Amino acid sequence: MAKTAELIIDGKTYKLPIIEGTEHEVAIDIGNLRDESGVVTLDLGYKNTGATKSAITFLDGDKGILRYRGYAIEELAANSNFLEVAYLLVFGELPTDEQYKKFTDDIKLHTMVHEDTRKILDGFPSSAHPMGVLASMFCAQTAFYPESLDPNRSSEATYLSIVRSLAKMPTFAAWAYKNAVGHPVNYPDNSLDYCSRFMKMLYALPAEQYQPDPVVADALDKLLILHADHEQNCSTSTVRIVGSSKASIYSSISAGINALWGPLHGGANQEVILMLEQIKKDGGDTDKWIAKAKDKNSGFRLMGFGHRVYKNFDPRAKIIKKAADDVLKKLGVNDPVLDIAMKLEEVALRDSYFIERKLYPNVDFYSGIIYRALGIPVDMFTVMFAMGRLPGWIAQWKELRENKEPIGRPRQIYTGQNLRPYVPIKKR
């Protein structure tokens, strides 16, 4: 017997179907509520509202669980690699040897970008933030691949767009950085693995024999895995709603890049390092800054702390915290802000303000410390997040299209003026 919820409005009872997911999450399906009752629901920030049914990522905020297609993030981070995880997220299963070789070979075939993209890049001043450059270059791919404007063209065309997106993202990211520092761009070296290829494009200078560091490439690969998807977060929801209008994959991803840029979302990893540097410069008094974070009038938040869903711990933060320690030791880097970060975490997790509000370190709290140890500049931190999140955006966009979901169009409650007559300017 299907379960239902009962809603009583002005004495009339409405029965609403209850649906249950494979991990026993329960939702009230209000799909027909307005037609039956004339009433809509209101949920600012969608804190209690499911936008879709998805088979890609499961997370449990209370238990600190994160799984991609049923595989625990801890296992994937320890045993897999980013392109294998990308394949899993997008196509739903871990690839066989043969599938993995074809996927990675196809990606190698498309790492170059149309040379006219350089004209777009050259149009940006060096002061341009790499995230804005990245979003623009991604959207510009609709110009070079106009067939992508029909997302339902064919499964082969969709596969090609997916491969092109994953292949070109590191090239765009490295070019955005080179534009910021005024260096000539590098072209992809397909003899290298995904992360080493990116590092070489990011760092190599003309006529320099750049040798990628496997420790750096391995740490970066693990970080990309940890960022690869996170169910219906702000930027993924943006990709889905743009994709729901049948916009191309490139414009949908470009919209996701812009949503990720905000300091409350992916932009937090850059803000964390700037915050830690500020605390270090101020003498490292963590108690003083914890007090500021608790003071509503200070306008200061402990960046990298708190999460809409995780109310116990962010499993990614745990993995990254350990990786930060390992990588800095392996690279022989002594970064005092790591000590400040650990002290902040220790003090905050003992403080009732943070405990009552269930505020714990999130994915952004330690990731910037690793990026910095890898030599990646602060302005590029959110670009790294975008590189990691790309397979998740692609998988969610693809799922939306395959499920033929309707165009997203939320309702509202109007709170403006009631009907009033127009008054000519002379009489106002």
Query: Which stretches within 14-96 are classed as H helix?
Result: 33-37, 73-79, 82-91
Are the C-beta atoms of 249 and 165 separated by less than 8 Å?
yes
Q: Which CB atom, from 167 or from 359, has the smaller least distance to ligand SDX? A: 359
* Per CB under 6 A, 318 contacts ligand SDX: no
Q: Which stretch binds ligand SDX (CB under 6 A): 64-72, 75-83, 297-305, 334-342?
A: 297-305
CA 116, 176, 164, 207 torsion: positive or negative?
positive
* Per CB under 6 A, 239 contacts ligand SDX: no
Q: Which residues are catalytic?
A: 307, 364
* Residue in 308, 318, 330, 343 binding ligand SDX, rule: CB under 6 A: 308
| Other C-beta atoms lying within 10 Å of the C-beta of residue 91 | 16
DSSP helix/strand/coil, 270: helix
* Residue in 301, 311, 318, 343 binding ligand SDX, rule: CB under 6 A: 301
CA 317, 56, 268, 305 torsion: positive or negative?
negative
Closest CB 188 distance from ligand SDX, rounded Å: 27
Alpha-carbon Rg for the chain, nearest whole angstrom, is: 23
* Per CB under 6 A, 293 contacts ligand SDX: yes
Q: Which residues contact 9 (CB under 8 A, 6 or more apart)?
A: 37, 39
Closest CB 388 distance from ligand SDX, rounded Å: 9
Q: Please state the φ and ψ torsions of residue 17, each to the nearest 5 degrees.
A: -65, 145
* Per CB under 6 A, 265 contacts ligand SDX: yes
Closest CB 397 distance from ligand SDX, rounded Å: 15
* Residue in 222, 307, 372, 401 binding ligand SDX, rule: CB under 6 A: 307
* Per CB under 6 A, 306 contacts ligand SDX: yes
| Antiparallel, parallel or unpaired: β 65-68 and 26-28 | unpaired
* Per CB under 6 A, 303 contacts ligand SDX: yes
Give the pair of three-digit tokens for residue 75.
């296992």
* Per CB under 6 A, 243 contacts ligand SDX: no
Binding to ligand SDX by CB under 6 A, coded x per residue (else -) over 19-48, reads --------------------------x---
Report how far residue 86's alpha carbon sits from residue 76's, in angstroms, rounded to the nearest whole number. 11
Closest CB 313 distance from ligand SDX, rounded Å: 12
**Partners of residue 16 on adjacent β-strands:** 5
What's the first-to-final CA gap in the chain, in angstroms?
A: 63
* Per CB under 6 A, 244 contacts ligand SDX: no
Closest CB 23 distance from ligand SDX, rounded Å: 17
Q: Which residues bind ligand SDX (CB under 6 A)?
A: 45, 230, 233, 264-265, 268, 293, 301-309, 357, 359, 362-364
